[in-house]
Structure 1
Amino acid sequence: MRQRLAPGELLALALILLPLAVALPRLWLGYGPGWGGALTLLGRLSGMLGLAMMLVTAALSVRLPALDAWFGGLPRLWRLHRRLGFGAFMLILLHVLLLAFAALPQSLAMAVTLLFPPPADWLTWTGWLALLLLVVFLAPTFQFFGPIHYQNWKRLHLLSVPTLALALLHTLPPLASPWPWWLLATLAALALLWRKGLSPWLARRPYRITEVRSLAPDVVELVLRPERRPLRHRAGQFVYLSPLDKGLAAGRGEEHPYTLSSAPGAPELTLGIKALGDASRALQSVALGSRVLLEGPYGAFFEQADPGRKQLWLGGGIGITPFVAAARELDAGPGKEEEVVLCYLANRPERAYYLEELADIAARHSSLRLAPHYVSERGPLALDFLEQQCPDFRERELLICGPPPMIHHLLRLLAGAGVPRAHIHTEAFDFL
Structure 2
Amino acid sequence: MKKLMWGTGVVSLLIWGISLLLLPENTNMDIWFWRKQLIYVTGVASFAYMSLIMLLAIRPKWLENPLNGLDKMYRLHKWAGIWAISLGVVHYLIKLSKDILILYVERGAKGPREDWFLDIFRGAAKDLGEWAVYFSIAMLVITLWKKFPYDKWRIIHKSLSAFFLVIVFHGVVLSPSEWWLQPIGMFMAVCSLLGSYCAVIAIFGRIGAQRRFSGKVESVEQLANGIVEITCNLGKNWHHTQGQFAFIKHTALGEQHPFTISSADKHDGRVRFAIKSLGDDTTLLYHSVKVGDKVEVEGPYGCFSYNENSQTEQLWVAAGIGVTPFIAWLEGLQEQPEKAPKVTLHYCANNEQEGVYAKRLQALTETIDNITLVIHYSEQEGYLTADKLLQGTAQNTPIWFCGPSGFAKAIKTGMQKAGRDLALFHNEYFEIR
Scaled by the length of structure 1, the TM-score of the pair is: 0.85
1:162 counterpart SS class: helix
Amino acid at match of 2:277: A
Amino acid at match of 1:284: Y
Superposed CA deviations along residues 220-259 of structure 1, whole A, max 9, x for unmatched, are 2111112x34421111110001113xxx4xx23x211110
State how far apart, in whole Å, the 2-side matches of 1:97 and 1:381 are.
48
Residue 184 (str. 1) matches residue 186 (str. 2): no
**Aligned CA distance change for structure 1 residues 39 and 291 (closer, same or farther; 3 Å):** same
- What's the counterpart of residue 110 of structure 2? none
Instruction: State how 1:14-163 maps to structure 2 within 5 Å.
Output: 14=7, 18=11, 20-27=13-20, 29=23, 32-65=28-61, 67-101=63-97, 104-107=100-103, 121-143=123-145, 147-163=147-163
Superposed CA deviations along residues 293-350 of structure 1, whole A, max 9, x for unmatched, are 1001111112689845331100100001011110111113353253111000111112
- What's the counterpart of residue 340 of structure 1? 343
Amino acid at match of 2:157: H
Structure 1 residue runs without a partner (length 5+): 112-118
Residue 166 (str. 1) matches residue 166 (str. 2): yes
Instruction: State how 1:5-404 maps to structure 2 within 5 Å.
Output: 5=1, 10=4, 14=7, 18=11, 20-27=13-20, 29=23, 32-65=28-61, 67-101=63-97, 104-107=100-103, 121-143=123-145, 147-173=147-173, 174-175=176-177, 176-177=179-180, 178-197=185-204, 198-199=206-207, 202-226=210-234, 228-244=235-251, 248=252, 251-252=253-254, 254-265=255-266, 267=268, 268-285=270-287, 286-302=289-305, 307-383=310-386, 385-386=388-389, 391-392=392-393, 394-404=395-405
Most deviating of 166-175 and 55-64: 166-175
Pairwise CA distance, 1:193: 3.0
Preserved contact between residue 133 and residue 159 of structure 1 (Cα < 8 Å): no
**Aligned CA distance change for structure 1 residues 292 and 155 (closer, same or farther; 3 Å):** same
Preserved contact between residue 225 and residue 353 of structure 2 (Cα < 8 Å): no
Most deviating of 177-186 and 336-345: 177-186
Pairwise CA distance, 1:34: 4.0
Superposed CA deviations along residues 97-142 of structure 1, whole A, max 9, x for unmatched, are 223335633338999xxxxxxx983342232133233234333212
State how far apart, in whole Å, the 2-side matches of 1:222 and 1:162 are.
35
Structure 2 residue runs without a partner (length 5+): 108-120
What percent of counterpart residues are identical?
25
1:55 counterpart SS class: helix
Amino acid at match of 1:27: L
State how far apart, in whole Å, the 2-side matches of 1:361 and 1:121 are.
67
Pairwise CA distance, 1:205: 0.8
**Aligned CA distance change for structure 1 residues 223 and 101 (closer, same or farther; 3 Å):** same
State how far apart, in whole Å, the 1-side matches of 2:292 and 2:385 are.
45
1:236 counterpart SS class: coil
**Aligned CA distance change for structure 1 residues 199 and 171 (closer, same or farther; 3 Å):** closer
* Count, aligned residues: 408
**Aligned CA distance change for structure 1 residues 419 and 315 (closer, same or farther; 3 Å):** same
**Aligned CA distance change for structure 1 residues 199 and 127 (closer, same or farther; 3 Å):** closer
State how far apart, in whole Å, the 2-side matches of 1:377 and 1:81 are.
40
Pairwise CA distance, 1:165: 2.4
Most deviating of 257-266 and 366-375: 257-266
Preserved contact between residue 348 and residue 375 of structure 2 (Cα < 8 Å): yes
Residue 428 (str. 1) matches residue 421 (str. 2): no
Pairwise CA distance, 1:420: 1.2
Preserved contact between residue 47 and residue 92 of structure 1 (Cα < 8 Å): yes
Pairwise CA distance, 1:412: 2.0
- What's the counterpart of residue 114 of structure 1? none
State how far apart, in whole Å, the 2-side matches of 1:349 and 1:189 are.
52
State how far apart, in whole Å, the 1-side matches of 2:122 and 2:385 are.
67
2:231 counterpart SS class: strand
